[in-house]
Amino acid sequence: MSSRSVQYSTNPLLASKTPIWRSQFIVACIALGFIGLVVRAVYVQVVGNAFFIKQGTVRFERQLDIPANRGRILDRNGLILASSVPMPSIWASPEEMQASTKQLKNLSQLLDMPLPELQKKISDTKRKHVWLRRQVDEATGKQIKELGIHGIYTTMEYKRMYPQGEAAAHVVGFTNVENTGQEGVELTFNTHLGGKNGTRRVIKNGQGQVVEGVGDLIPPEEGKDLQLSIDSKVQYFAYQRLREAVLQNKAAAGSVVVLDAQTGDVLALANYPSYMPDKRSNLSGAQLRNRALTDTFEPGSTMKPLIIGLAMEKGLVKPETMIDTAPGKVSMYGMTVTDAHPHGALSVSEVIQKSSNIGTVKIAMKMPAKDMWELYTQVGFGQKPQVPFPGAVAGRLRPYKSWRPMEQATMSYGYGLSTSLFQLAQAYTMLARDGEMAPVSLLKTQDKVSGVRVMSSEHAAQVRNMLHLVTGPGGTAPKAQTMGYSVGGKTGTAHKLDGKTYAEKKYRGFFVGMAPIENPRIVVAVMIDEPTGGHYFGGDVAAPVFSQTVQQTLRMLEVQPDMAVKPQVVAKAEPESF
């Protein structure tokens, strides 16, 4: 049938009359729909506006932290001890992840992460941000970016670098992956170095890409640089000599402290064993411990010069006063005091030179216990050092009223109290500075500082002359002599406590001294812990480190030699008394 023959006007469906209510219903539905849209629009735009803005913000707007660059740590000459460099960190958005099996294998290899571990991390769709590897090198970051994996992102962070490595580790310390100080100077001055992160708000699209910045940019406050008193060259040399001595003597550990006697600046503070601050995997407590500040020991014979100086200050003896030490073993105060060798009558100077326990006790017991306690307190024993290092200890010095005569006697030659090597070095600045003890500083100072007067300059100079005899013929430390420079100091050898008793074959050997002897520029203290290589006296294991460190340090400080430049070791060391 042809379409032209269709008579639409006669079609009964079209000819039927539509009820009026139907058209009204349709119009009403349209009107209600329109009203509903208007109401919804009003709700979205006016009533519930804050809610929907918040939801849009949650889905697309992000606050990004702009990391502050941590300040550098510099040595006294401006050389870098610690600095930060930008490095890429890799993270994933599990809900956006789209990667082939091959891409995941390549990613796991670049991250040095087992494939199952990687798959587990990126499958946690409840988390929007998962760190895969922090602070990778630039080449690795570039290779990961070239994989083109959807859902894998790179963020630039700062990584801390330590050019001096293990030599300065115990001074500088280290930060964690968040660039927060954890040990040493990094911890103590964390606020000063760290600065404050900035922020910016951005809008991201569905692929996590930044498409627009919103709001004000808050720039980061960069961390401030910090200049220490440490001389990195002195630090490195002292550490190397200490390391060699510990290994040569098959010792458990060792420490060395170098102080500028004029300014009180800490030029070097080294410990062995040490660690690499930026490579701390499998780090042990023995490596981490800053022994020069945290380990205490009975200082042994290094107390004798202080006692002799005090006795001269009280007018009880003079350098030439004779003391009878025969026959080398004397019972007194309920104990037996012995010397390594019987010496007979010794002058006060020779008591120091030969390190006589008997001579020291006889001199000390002429004084009240209070006088000894006051001297020890004035030079810092029993008090925490005023230096900003975490873990610095006070040592032990009991109140003099509790001392029995036997304890006063043993304290005169360094048993019955405890100190750290750092405290011992600071105490000897009193002798180096003509009776005035220097306040120590870890931050660089320019000029000579005033200290606390402990002893007259005359008596301090006399004690220095006695210390010079210790390093000469007939003394206990000829190995402390240094080519070109006059030196003086005191050996110490002490049994180690093992529980509540002294271990028979465990010792600490130490030496603390100064140079040049007439006008000291530096004080150096060395401790070797548990040497087992055949020698354990301080004059054998610690004095050589002192000698080498003094010579190199004075040359670096451009101190003119005060002696002919030739070897001065002319005699075998006298054994020292415990």
Q: For the segment 465-490, what is each residue's pLDDT rounded down to a tens digit?
A: 999 999 999 999 999 999 999 999 99
Residues with active-site annotation: 301
- The reply to whether 24 falls in a domain is no
Q: Residues 457, 499: one domain?
A: yes
- The reply to whether 571 falls in a domain is no
163 burial (CB, 10 Å; 0-12 / 13-18 / 19+) is middle
Provide the β-strand partners of residue 330: 337
pLDDT tens digits along 531-541: 999 899 999 99
Q: Residues 302, 256: one domain?
A: yes
Number of domains present in the structure of the chain: 2
Provide the β-strand partners of residue 157: 87
Q: Residues 300, 207: one domain?
A: no
What pLDDT score was predicted for residue 118? 86
Q: Is residue 401's pLDDT more than 80?
A: yes
Q: Helix H segments across 383-489?
A: 405-412, 421-432, 457-470
Q: Residues 184, 325: one domain?
A: no
User: pLDDT band at 464, cuts 50/70/90?
Assistant: very high
Contact yes or no for 228/171 (Cβ under 8 A): yes
- The reply to whether 572 falls in a domain is no
Round to whole Å and give the CA distance between 243 and 545: 10
Q: Residues 196, 77: one domain?
A: yes
Q: Is residue 522's pLDDT more than 70?
A: yes
**Torsions phi, psi of 6, nearest 5?**
-75, 130
Contact yes or no for 164/280 (Cβ under 8 A): no
Q: Is residue 63's pLDDT more than 70?
A: no
Q: Residues 380, 421: one domain?
A: yes
User: CA distances (Å), 460 to each of 26, 58, 391, 428, 472, in order?
Assistant: 113, 73, 32, 10, 19
- The reply to whether 47 falls in a domain is no
Q: Residues 421, 496: one domain?
A: yes
Contact yes or no for 549/515 (Cβ under 8 A): no
Q: Residues 162, 239: one domain?
A: no
**Residue with structure tokens 């992460």?**
113
Q: Provide the mean pLDDT of the chain.
A: 87
Can you give the residue range of the structural domain that contains 135? 64-122+130-227
Contact yes or no for 466/308 (Cβ under 8 A): yes
Q: Where residue 368 sits, what CATH number does that domain have? A: 3.40.710.10
Round to whole Å and give the CA distance between 311 and 8: 137
Computed on alpha carbons and rounded to an integer, the radius of gyration of the chain in Å comes to 38
**Helix or strand or coil: residue 210?**
strand
Q: Is residue 89's pLDDT more than 70?
A: yes
> Taking the model in full, what pTM does it have?
0.83
> How confident is the model over 145-164, as a mean pLDDT?
88
Contact yes or no for 88/235 (Cβ under 8 A): no
Q: Where residue 83 sits, what CATH number does that domain have? A: 3.90.1310.10
Q: Distance from first CA to last CA of the chain, Å, rounded?
A: 133
- The reply to whether 365 falls in a domain is yes
Q: Residues 194, 310: one domain?
A: no
- The reply to whether 220 falls in a domain is yes
Q: Residues 449, 417: one domain?
A: yes
Round to whole Å and give the CA distance between 347 and 314: 17
> How confident is the model over 156-181, as a mean pLDDT?
91
Q: Residues 101, 242: one domain?
A: no
Round to whole Å and give the CA distance between 387 and 403: 30
- Helices 357-364 and 405-412: crossing angle, nearest 10°? 130
Percent of the chain with pLDDT over 90: 56
3-state secondary structure 239-286: HHHHHHHHHHCCCCEEEEEEEECCCCEEEEEEEECCCECCECCCCCHH
> How confident is the model over 551-576, as a mean pLDDT?
77
Round to whole Å and give the CA distance between 505 and 486: 34
| HSE of 236, CA atoms in CB hemisphere, 13 A | 10
Q: Residues 381, 480: one domain?
A: yes
User: pLDDT band at 82, cuts 50/70/90?
Assistant: very high
Q: Is residue 282's pLDDT more than 80?
A: no
What pLDDT score was predicted for residue 362? 96
Q: Is residue 1's pLDDT more than 50?
A: no
Q: Helix H segments across 100-205?
A: 101-111, 115-122, 138-146, 169-172, 184-188, 190-194
Torsion sign (Cα): 351, 352, 353, 357: positive
- The reply to whether 282 falls in a domain is no
> How confident is the model over 482-500, as a mean pLDDT?
89
Residue type, 459: H
Round to whole Å and give the CA distance between 307 and 415: 13
Round to whole Å and give the CA distance between 414 and 364: 12
Vertex 120, ends 115 and 126: CA angle to 5°? 150
- The reply to whether 18 falls in a domain is no
